Amino acid sequence: MNPVPKTPHQGNLFLKIAVVVIITNLSLALGIIFHLKLIFTLAILAVTSIINLGVIYTFLLPLKSLLKFTVKFINGQTNERFNIQTGDEIEELALAFSQINQNLSQTLTKTLREKDLLVSEKNKLATIISSITDGIIVVDLHKKIILANQSALNIIGIPGNEVLKQNLEEIIKLTDKTDRILTSDEYCPISLTPSDTPKKFKPNEPVVLTNKANKKSQIRLTSTSVIGNTQADLGCVLIFHDLTQETALEAMQVDFVSMASHELRTPLTSILGYLNVLAEDGKNNFTTTQKDFVNKILTASQQLAVLVNNLLNVSRVERGAFSISSRPLDWAKTLTQAVDENKLQAAQKNISLELNLPQTLPSVSADPVRMMEVLNNLISNAVNYTPEGGIIKIAAKIGSNEVITMISDNGKGIPKEAIPHLFTKFFRVTYALDTSSNSKGTGLGLYLSKSIVELHHGKIWVESAGINKGSTFYFSLPISTISKLPSNFPNLNSKPLDIPPVSA
């Protein structure tokens, strides 16, 4: 701007200058305003950006890492604590998440430990079950097999995976000793209400198991119903005890007894044979003492022969090979003969044998040899267990379709607790075991007598009031339906003539 000269026209000039100055200043001011506005806008922009950045740093970043942590947490990849220090709700949220995570991971660890424990318990049980030598099969409520241990599979003869889920009756066939097929309802009853069908299956009786390959094994079956908890879906537990080996061992034992008795019989035959001849020869030549000696040797040898015979008979009973040959038998005559045969033995102890028979006694249907064994056994037992001077009474009475024979003594009697076991093999009453009582026996006589009487469809039993109160043995035999022997039938009641024992 140029200075304005002071001329007349100076007033005008001054005005002009003033206007120019004003205009100039105005535009200058406007420029300044414009600049200020720009600066202001820029300032606002800067502030906004700063605020945005603050939002990003304070909210979005923590949220993002929370999200990342949540994803890890969902995938189960973390058990760390989530650490955000924002001092606000996000930090609280993160803390809550951390707590949940920690709780969950603790629970998870505990559950895993318990699972391991359960698995190891399960394995332990499985090992125990599979190592049991008896076969075990468990079926569900529908009788489908849900468990079979190795021994069971060995008996069944089918691999485990083919057995599971199969119906019990499709896998095994059980038959009893009469070859009757047992239904699974008998040995594994599952219905919750007791069934009306009588249980023919007896738990302790051996049964035969036929597997799919048609192999038979003798087993003893124990079955337990485990119904009660329908959720568990358990039907019953079957335990198979294989008897094959035991049966084979028993057969060996029976064979051994059979052979041993044969070996014992050979020298006995010689002894008894020569003694008989000696006794006969000595009838007229021997002194009283010599006759007495021979008689004693003879009695002892005969007892030995009875023992050996009993052993052999027991081995026959065990094999089921003990047979009888029943025929009409004059029972009065048989009883008289038995009494006569035992008189000598009784006389040695000054015991009297009394026989009381009804006027008429029908014939019985029996095997004469076997029945004589029973009578000799019962009478000689009575003599053995009756003190000197005692009385033994033998009597018979007629029942319905049967003859009941009684042999009673006033001897040592039988304790009550011994009575149920008296007819079992090798059982002997305690006092009989006392060697000082000098009573001999093997515990086979009554067992055999019972076997013989039962083979005749009879019964044998005993009554005793107790120790020292004597005892009475009873047995029944069916009355023979054939009244008279055919005329051409050999006279079987007559005993072959024998050399009478030498009397002292």
Partner 1 sequence: MDPLAINPQAKSKKILIVEDEKPIAELYQLVISKAGFQVKIAPDGATGLQVLEAESFDMLLLDIMLPGINGLELLRQFKSKHPDSQMIVLLLTNLGQDAVIKEAFELGATGYLIKASLTPNQVLTEVNNAFAGKQSESWVKPV
The reply to whether 321 sits near partner 1 by the rule CB under 8 A is yes
The region of 116-124, 150-158, 231-239, 273-281 touching partner 1 under the rule CB under 8 A is: 273-281
Q: Residues near 382 by Cβ (< 8 Å), separated by ≥ 6?
A: 392, 407, 408, 409, 411, 473
With CB under 8 A as the contact rule, the residue among 49, 269, 288, 290 that binds partner 1 is 269
Is the CB of residue 337 less than 8 Å from the CB of residue 299?
no
The region of 90-98, 266-274, 284-292, 405-413 touching partner 1 under the rule CB under 8 A is: 266-274
Neighbouring CB atoms inside 10 A of 270's CB total 10
Decide: residue 219, CB within 10 A, 0-12 exposed, 13-18 middle, 19+ buried.
Answer: buried
Q: Please report, for residues 367, 369, 451, the alpha-carbon distance to residue 323 in angstroms, rounded to integers and kept in the order given.
A: 10, 11, 10
The region of 20-28, 225-233, 261-269, 385-393 touching partner 1 under the rule CB under 8 A is: 261-269
With CB under 8 A as the contact rule, the residue among 178, 204, 266, 438 that binds partner 1 is 266
The reply to whether 262 sits near partner 1 by the rule CB under 8 A is yes
Looking up tokens 């006279």 gives 491
- In the chain the first and final C-alpha atoms are separated, in Å, by 189
The reply to whether 251 sits near partner 1 by the rule CB under 8 A is no
C-beta of 325 vs 356, nearer to partner 1 = 325
Tell me the closest approach of the beta carbon of residue 253 to partner 1, in angstroms: 15
Q: Report the Cα 187 to chain-centroid distance in Å.
A: 13
The region of 31-39, 88-96, 225-233, 488-496 touching partner 1 under the rule CB under 8 A is: 488-496
The reply to whether 276 sits near partner 1 by the rule CB under 8 A is yes
With CB under 8 A as the contact rule, the residue among 79, 225, 258, 472 that binds partner 1 is 258
C-beta of 308 vs 398, nearer to partner 1 = 308
With CB under 8 A as the contact rule, the residue among 221, 236, 312, 444 that binds partner 1 is 312
With CB under 8 A as the contact rule, the residue among 61, 63, 95, 499 that binds partner 1 is 499
- Residue count at the site for partner 1 (CB under 8 A)? 29
C-beta of 53 vs 277, nearer to partner 1 = 277
Look at residues 149, 152, 186 and name the one whose alpha carbon lies nearest to residue 171: 152
d(CA 357, CA 334): 12
Q: Any bridge partners for residue 216, and if so which?
A: 210
The reply to whether 485 sits near partner 1 by the rule CB under 8 A is no
The reply to whether 314 sits near partner 1 by the rule CB under 8 A is no
The reply to whether 273 sits near partner 1 by the rule CB under 8 A is yes
The region of 30-38, 148-156, 179-187, 304-312 touching partner 1 under the rule CB under 8 A is: 304-312
The region of 32-40, 63-71, 264-272, 282-290 touching partner 1 under the rule CB under 8 A is: 264-272
**List of E strands, 124-276:** 135-139, 145-148, 173-175, 207-210, 216-225, 236-242
d(CA 390, CA 409): 7
The reply to whether 58 sits near partner 1 by the rule CB under 8 A is no
Tell me the closest approach of the beta carbon of residue 333 to partner 1, in angstroms: 13
Residue 467 sits at φ, ψ, to 5 deg, of -55, 135
The reply to whether 277 sits near partner 1 by the rule CB under 8 A is yes
Look at residues 45, 129, 504 and name the one whose alpha carbon lies nearest to residue 279: 504
Please, which of residues 278-297 interact with partner 1 by CB under 8 A?
A: 280
Please, which of residues 328-387 interact with partner 1 by CB under 8 A?
A: 368-369
Neighbouring CB atoms inside 10 A of 233's CB total 13
d(CA 62, CA 5): 75
Q: Report the Cα 130 to chain-centroid distance in Å.
A: 15
The reply to whether 490 sits near partner 1 by the rule CB under 8 A is yes
| Axis-axis angle for helices 288-319, 445-455 (nearest 10) | 60
The reply to whether 309 sits near partner 1 by the rule CB under 8 A is yes
| Interstrand relation of 173-175 and 236-242 (parallel, antiparallel or unpaired) | unpaired
The reply to whether 307 sits near partner 1 by the rule CB under 8 A is no
Q: Which residues bind partner 1 (CB under 8 A)?
A: 258, 262, 265-266, 268-270, 272-274, 276-277, 280, 305, 308-309, 312, 316, 321, 323, 325, 368-369, 490, 492, 496-499
